[in-house]
Amino acid sequence: MNKHVIPTLIGLCVLMSISVNAAAKEWFVAPGKSGTGTQQVPFGEIEAALLAAQPGDTVVVRAGTYREAVRTVRDGSDDAPITIRAERGRGSVVVTTQGTVLHVDHSFVVVDGLVIDGRYAPRAAVKVSNGVQSFVMRHVEVRRSSRDCITIGSAVDVLIEDSLIHHCLNPAEGRTDAHGIVASAVRGLTVRNTEIHTFSGDAIQLNRQHTPDAPAWNDVLIEGCRLWLEPLPREENGFAAGVVPGENAVDTKVTPGSPRARITIRDTQAWGFGGGLIQKQAAFNLKEDIDATLDRVTVWDSEIAFRTRGSRTGPNGAWVRIQNAVVYDVQVGVRYEDDIAHLRVWNTTFGLGVGRAFQEASSKQRRLDVRNVAILGAALPPEAANTSNLALRPEAFVNPSAHDYRLTATSPAVDVGTAIPDVATDRLGVSRPRGLGYDVGAYERCVSACASAPDGSASR
């Protein structure tokens, strides 16, 4: 290619981008209006604005309640998405109907600041269709569905961040599963800084695709999230007051024969997963052919923190790595099942109120890699026989009664761990090692500027 052609093409692309941005418009919507979408004469419905909006445009939704179902009309583009934005931020705009409130059928769409209320209709409140590419939900609240609050098909690059998802409850006809988010065959799902609570299935379920030729989900990231259950304070959509309606915080399922699916969970808290609708209730139910990394996760007030499951029919099943975790007030820390062949628990702290740090089920071949684990108690379980693991007294920690499991200056856990290059930082981001060697447990002792108060995930 002529050397003068490349700069010309680059310049043309820049000019086209500038042209698209310059042409972008804002379309305004206000309750009860019937105008043409200008700032002075807004549309009365969000759907009317979407019919007008082109790539790069923004639908600005003024405060109020909109009783309509919203369905996307056309694709945006990578550098010019179509945006639906609450003018005054989350809480100012409620979109509601007796059914699916938001259908996303198109790519490069952003939804920002809306409250989406399904009014307990027997349909998902938000549905992201197969084939969608690059969908963003930000500062959104999704609530009150008798099915899943959000269901995602075989989409690519979905981001849900800074959002609130709750009251996904389905007791009808003996079916209780209603998940906060359920995704099948999604590629590149990120759920970030989002709170999910009060559901009768799982906070997040990664499900099998039900068509045999579909791929499995892959490349899922859950970070900075709060996933929880508690007894219902009052009767809600057919569930009695006092019932704990749900199952797990995260549950994984993979289509048989699919490539191993990757999931990363970090800086996430989970609590309240006990006394619910299933036996062996776990915060994290990690099973089938997945490759899971959990880093800086905190679990408390639950039956099982991590339920990890191999395969009785072959060498497959879950591959799980847990590091920098803090676990307390649970019956079981790590339950390992079905001869799981790849389970690593590194630099983790089991604090007060842990009935059993490890529990075996149908796993006579113990193939766990447990190193640099700190257990508050008088003795180590057989799974933690490696010399890098320690049973510690309360005075080894700063304030275990407040679940502050940072190490004291005189703690026996300082500098005595084994080097694990894959755990290069602790749960506060402090680099390892700070002294002569790795510290044992989730925290690396640091007495300089890096020694801050415990992160929020270390306490209730």
Q: Which domains does the chain have, with CATH numbers?
A: 19-458 (2.160.20.10)
Predicted confidence (pLDDT) at residue 10 exceeds the cutoff of 50: no
The share of the chain scoring above pLDDT 90, in percent, equals 82
- Tell me, what's the pLDDT at 18? 42
- Tell me, what's the pLDDT at 56? 98
Distance, CA of 264 to CA of 29 (rounded, Å): 39
Q: Predicted confidence band at 361 (pLDDT cuts at 50, 70, 90)?
A: very high
pLDDT for 279-338, tens place per residue? Answer: 999 999 999 999 999 999 999 999 999 999 998 665 679 999 999 999 999 999 999 999
Predicted confidence (pLDDT) at residue 347 exceeds the cutoff of 70: yes
Predicted confidence (pLDDT) at residue 14 exceeds the cutoff of 60: no
Mean pLDDT, the chain, as a whole number?
A: 91
- Tell me, what's the pLDDT at 456? 42
Q: Predicted confidence band at 214 (pLDDT cuts at 50, 70, 90)?
A: low
Q: Predicted confidence band at 413 (pLDDT cuts at 50, 70, 90)?
A: very high
- How much is the average pLDDT of 352-365? 92
- Of 3-7, 145-149, 291-295, 343-347, least confident by mean pLDDT is 3-7
Predicted confidence (pLDDT) at residue 15 exceeds the cutoff of 80: no
- How much is the average pLDDT of 266-288? 96
The pTM (predicted TM-score) of the whole model is 0.93
- Of 99-108, 155-164, 207-216, 376-385, least confident by mean pLDDT is 207-216
- How much is the average pLDDT of 261-280? 96
- Tell me, what's the pLDDT at 22? 54
